[in-house]
Amino acid sequence: MTNLSVNINKIATLRNARGENRPCVTDAALDIERFGADGITVHPRPDERHIRRDDVYRLRPLLRSEFNIEGNPTHEFVDLVLSVRPTQVTLVPDAPDALTSSAGWDVEANAEFLSSLVERFKEAGIRSSIFVDADPNVIRAAAATGADRIELYTKPYADAYDRDPEAAVAPFAEAARVARSLGLGVNAGHDLNLDNLAFFSRSIPFLSEVSIGHALICDALYLGLEETVRRYKAALANDR
């Protein structure tokens, strides 16, 4: 079954609004694990407007599920990942002032840079994933870097889902097949939610993991965190 990794950035955003420790990010992460999530994702940014570096260090020894750190691979980010040694690092081409991720890598143009990073992470025993659009040529370039996985940027699917689900998912299914043929694992994330997740996961072959944060935390405001995690896991349970 496809794993659910919960991005806890929005919990940190809420905490930071008051400058104290409520809600507690580490307690929330441990509860999310206890409620059935398969992993925890964080996306630290240079301005620390949500997840902070000290959050990352505190979380690492406490988590029992997979820990995924995603972000733009600046020197500071790479040093953090190599120090913490999470299960997985996801490389995302975010500008420092980006509100959220908005596109995958131009892998061919950054091939040397990404290949060198993948090699460093591999030496440290960290699984590497490259954030990409659903473009077979980009995925072939990602495979050439030596990365273990790709993460498909799914906002285009989410935006088109209501109009024509089959057409919306088709390029992602093809991208997953190409990735699999090249020996890459397939992750996915961005704007997946309870409306579109089950159809996506049923339609995408070889889907290892989805990373979901914003929509899941929004749902938790109405459903509660435990019930929300249960529903997202249930959507993924129908994926095969």
Q: Which residues are catalytic?
A: 43, 70, 190
Cα–Cα dist 120/124, whole Å: 6
Which residues, at least 6 apart from 128, have a Cβ–Cβ distance to it below 8 Å? 88, 89, 90, 91, 117, 118, 121, 122, 146, 147, 148, 149
Cβ-count burial 32-53 (b if 16+ within 10 Å, e if not): bbebebbbbbbbbbeeeebbbe
Compute the distance between CA of residue 148 and CA of residue 40 in angstroms, rounded to an integer: 19
Q: φ, ψ for residue 70 (rounded to 5)?
A: -120, 155
d(CA 184, CA 190): 19
**Nearest CA among 101, 206, 114 for reference residue 154:** 101
DSSP string over 112-127: HHHHHHHHHHHHTT-E
Q: How many CA atoms lie within 13 A of 4 on its CB side?
A: 28
Peptide bond into 61 cis (omega under 30): no
Coil/strand/helix, residue 194: coil
